[in-house]
Amino acid sequence: MRGWLKELLSGKPQASPDDPPFWKDYIQRIHNQGAADTSLSEADFVVFDTETTGLDVKADKVLSVGAVRVCKGQVLVQDSFEFVVRQEVAAGNKSAEVHGLLRQEVGQGVPEPEVLMLFLSFVGSAPLVGHHVAFDVEMINGMIRRCGINGKLHNPTVDTAELAKRLERRQHSPDSYRRSDYTLDSLIRKYNLPTESRHTASGDAFITAILLLKLLAQAKQRGISKVGELVR
């Protein structure tokens, strides 16, 4: 029986024979991903952010992707990723204006399939961290589909907004939570985080990485010590 068919029957993520080599490499790395019992002090995370044409995960597209690696409790600024994605952007697109991206800049960006290939190579099987990370994951999944691949990201994820709520549950009743208290801007103020390059993919990824370190320190104080206790 062919290997990819065995994986299909076993329930593991698989690449089909017709998928591009970079996707097959990614799936292989997912099969070899690190153990859930890795300690937080030794863990390797990739914090990422996407800037998009809007908030509709089915219709909107990625304008830029930024990511930075967090390894053994340190933000590795030198180990980062940032690309503007070549897209057609309508004149007056408010999202592009917020992100400081010009139509010309986006029009001359890197083709989407190439950005996807480089992104998957960068993240490998590491847990993906983001603020409201499900949105960013779905935007990357849209890139995967547009490349003709019948697949999705398989990395475990950590949502810093949800983690911040989780760490405060012993201090507040569930009824006291307000969504507005857990926006990135609200947590920037709460934890006195840097605001340089806010609303750019790389800037927001870096800010979220610093936030992750703050939250990991709290998690350890609460007795959370393994990667598997954080990820979804």
What are 31-70's pLDDT values in tens digits? 988 778 899 989 999 999 999 988 999 999 999 999 999 9
Three-state DSSP class for residue 20: coil
Amino acid occupying residue 135: F
Report pLDDT for 1.
40
- Domain count along the chain: 2
Confidence band for 30, pLDDT divided at 50, 70 and 90: very high
> For residues 73 and 229, is the Cβ–Cβ distance under 8 A?
no
DSSP 33: P
Residue 53 and residue 123 in one domain: yes
**pLDDT higher than threshold 80 for residue 150:** yes
Mean pLDDT confidence for 96-108: 61
Q: What is the pLDDT of residues 114-126, one digit of tens each?
A: 999 999 999 999 9
Report pLDDT for 94.
56
CATH value at residue 58: 3.30.420.10
Looking at the DSSP assignment, which residues form a beta bridge with residue 75? 70
> For residues 153 and 137, is the Cβ–Cβ distance under 8 A?
yes
Residue 22 and residue 82 in one domain: no
Residue 78 and residue 19 in one domain: no
- Helix 112-123 and helix 21-31, axial crossing angle in degrees, nearest 10: 20
Residue 111 and residue 84 in one domain: yes
Residue 20 and residue 50 in one domain: no
Residues 6+ apart with CB under 8 A from 141: 57, 152, 153
Q: Could you tell me if residue 84 is left (phi over 0), alpha (psi between -120 and 50 degrees) or otherwise beta?
A: beta
For 66, the enclosing helix (H) or strand (E) is strand 62-71
Residue 78 and residue 128 in one domain: yes
Residue 102 and residue 179 in one domain: yes
Confidence band for 103, pLDDT divided at 50, 70 and 90: low
Mean pLDDT confidence for 144-158: 96
Domain limits for position 18: 1-32
For 79, the enclosing helix (H) or strand (E) is strand 74-84
Residue 68 and residue 23 in one domain: no
Which sign does the torsion angle of CA 26, 155, 212, 83 carry? Answer: positive
- DSSP one-letter string for 116-170: HHHHHHHHTTSPEEETTHHHHHHHHHHHHHHTT--------EEEHHHHHHHHHTT
Amino acid occupying residue 26: Y
- Helix 201-221 and helix 184-191, axial crossing angle in degrees, nearest 10: 60
The terminus-to-terminus CA distance of the chain in angstroms comes to 32
Q: What is the pLDDT of residues 193-228, one digit of tens each?
A: 988 878 789 999 999 999 999 999 999 999 999 999
When computed from its CA atoms, the radius of gyration of the chain, rounded to whole angstroms, is 18
Q: What is the pLDDT of residues 72-100, one digit of tens each?
A: 999 999 999 999 998 876 655 555 554 55
Residue 51 and residue 119 in one domain: yes
Confidence band for 9, pLDDT divided at 50, 70 and 90: very low
Report pLDDT for 11.
64
Mean pLDDT confidence for 119-140: 98
pTM over 0.85: yes
